[in-house]
Amino acid sequence: MKRRDFAYELPEQLIASEPLKNRTNSRLMVIDPAGPITHQSVSDLPSMIREGDVVVVNNTRVFPARLFGAKVSGGRIEVMIERLLSDHAIRAFVKASKAPKEGTILLMDGGFELIVKGRYADLFVLESDPAICILDMAEAHGHTPLPPYIQREDLAQDRERYQTVFAKNVGAVAAPTAGLHLDESLISSIRRRGALWCEITLHIGAGTFNPVRVDELNEHQMHSEWYNIPDDVRDTIVLAKEEGRRIIAIGTTTMRCLEGSAAANGGQIRAGSSETEIFITPGYKFNVVDVVLTNFHLPESTLLMLVAAFGGFERVLAAYHEAVREHYRFFSYGDACLITRDTGAIRAS
């Protein structure tokens, strides 16, 4: 398939730039190969959960990864952290009038310095003085890394709302946005339905927003992301699969973690920490996930390609066109859809 196969027209006014006051008030489009599309609310989600379902979430925590500063020469720069390498080293995108060279000192707002130590593909490796913890500096002086399609400065409320209520492990520079729809009350309702609640960690990098610039999908290179699957989560999922119970992924990042682990291990999910750069497109054979809760994604994006592979290319693209007609809110702060895997969608037609 080609990149252009995943294009659709989206009116700018449908891009959600602010979160709703209540997390569970978002609309929910239900996409199931067994029937027509239905329109519900995220608050209805527990009624769709079955006893024995395994609900898996990504408990990564977003930190203020967007930093500002200047070169010694005076030119302003923006540093978007892609990954924390250690307390004193990061990989980052650097936006400047001219790409900084190795050895360049960056004077960051907040009174600390970063030194350019080298390149890693399109990223820069930056280090601080050993006495400085970069994460502490980011927490004190950084900005919430809102996606580029939200055309406003970050606000104080974004520190809380661009974060799931179950966020624990610091390391993400983008939120697992499907999880933004869940609050403690909804989670309790899901548990009361008899579902098993499991948490994995995948630290989402800024590369998740990188556009696909090539028309041939097999030429696109994904950024690698670190993940961890605890032993008990692996065991719970394996047993559920053996017993024919459903695995429900809350978000595409959870799906990338589970499917990435299985794809790297002969179709069997494995516990522990690793890296994945899995790029799922129509034709991929899913090994783990049966249902996914996700937001509506950008045209021609890797995430739209993933959900089209999962729910069926024609069905998902038709659903997106319907979402536009029905004035759903799109992207990170937008509405959601619940998609059941189309077991016949091994290939896009």
Backbone φ and ψ for 179, nearest 5 degrees, come out as: -70, -15
pLDDT over threshold 90, residue 16? yes
State how far the Cα of 261 lies from the Cα of 227, in Å rounded to an integer: 9
Q: Which residue, 141, 175, 196, sits at the end of a domain?
A: 141
Question: How confident is the model over 87-101, as a mean pLDDT?
Answer: 95
- Could you tell me if 181 and 283 lie in one domain? yes
Domain end: 107, 141, 175, which one?
141
The pLDDT assigned to 347 comes to: 38
Q: How much is the pLDDT for 346?
A: 44
165 and 272 in a common domain: yes
Task: Let me know whether 305 and 184 are in one domain.
Answer: yes
What is the predicted pLDDT for the residue at 345? 54
**pLDDT tens per residue across span 113-130:** 999 999 988 899 999 999
- pLDDT surpassing 60 at residue 349: no
Residue 153 has pLDDT above 80, yes or no: yes
Domain at 113, CATH number: 2.40.10
Residues 50 and 120 in one domain: no
Q: Are 9 and 324 in contact (CB under 8 A)?
A: yes
Tell me the average pLDDT of the chain: 95
- Domain assignment of residue 274, given as a range: 3-62+159-340
Joined tokens for residue 319: 């659903």
Dist CA 272 CA 229 (whole Å): 5
Same structural domain, 180 and 318: yes
Q: Coil, helix or strand for 89?
A: strand
- One DSSP character per residue, 24-47 reads GGSEEEEE-TTS--EEEEGGGGGG
Q: Taking residues 50-64, report their average pLDDT.
A: 98
Residues 298-339 pLDDT 10s: 999 999 999 999 999 999 999 999 999 999 999 999 999 999
Give me the residue label for tokens 């930056």.
126
Residue 147 lies in a domain: no
The answer to whether residues 106 and 196 belong to one domain is no
Q: What's residue 208's pLDDT?
A: 77
Q: Do both 168 and 226 map to the same domain? A: yes
CATH of the domain at 191: 3.40.1780.10
Question: Average pLDDT of 50-59?
Answer: 98
Which of 141, 169, 189 terminates a domain? The answer is: 141
Same domain membership, residue 245 and residue 123: no
Confidence of residue 348 (pLDDT cuts 50, 70, 90): very low
Q: Could you tell me if residue 151 is inside a domain?
A: no
- pLDDT for residue 121: 85
